[in-house]
Amino acid sequence: MKHFNDKHFGDRLQAAAQARQAMLKRAEKPAADDPKVLQRKAEREAIAAARVAREEAKAQAAIEQRAREEAEATERAAIAARKAREEADLAVAALAEQKALRDARYAARKKRKA
């Protein structure tokens, strides 16, 4: 018994050939001057240019941040040196005061003995 949609061998071969042609057409690369291709290429170039600009801005920001950090470190070092100098001056002054007091005690003791 034959089926309702029974095709002949030639019909099946023709359908297969048409399917192959359709697949080849879908896989075919569009021409280089196709408007869609040109638009996608322009979009990719714009994205690439934006990426380069972002990377340059990021690098510039990193350089500026590094310069700020170095300036802050220099300022902290200068403050630390000034504090150390002040502490050393205070220590020298304290030693001089102690020596003056000690000398005054010695002088008073000599005066008492004499």
Q: Which structural domain range is residue 88 located in?
A: 32-113
Query: Is residue 52, in this structure, part of any structural domain at all?
Result: yes
For residues 62 and 50, give the distance between their C-alpha atoms in angstroms, rounded to a whole number: 18
Mean pLDDT of the chain: 91
Q: Any residues with CB less than 8 A from the CB of 37 and at least 6 apart, and which?
A: 30, 31
- Global pTM? 0.50
How far apart, in whole angstroms, are the C-alpha atoms of residue 77 and residue 6? Answer: 94
Asked if residue 8 has pLDDT above 70, the reply is yes
Identify the residue whose tokens are 């290429």.
41
99-109 tens-digit pLDDT: 999 999 999 99
Percentage of the chain beyond pLDDT 90 is 70
Q: Cα separation of 54 and 7, whole Å?
A: 62
Q: Is residue 11 part of a domain?
A: no
Instruction: Give domain status of residue 16, yes or no.
Output: no
Residue type, 85: R
- Domain assignment of residue 109, yes or no: yes
Give the pLDDT confidence of 56-98 residue by residue, as tens digits.
999 999 999 999 999 999 999 999 999 999 999 999 999 999 9
In a domain, 22, yes or no: no
For residue 18, being part of any structural domain is answered with: no
Report the domain count for the chain: 1
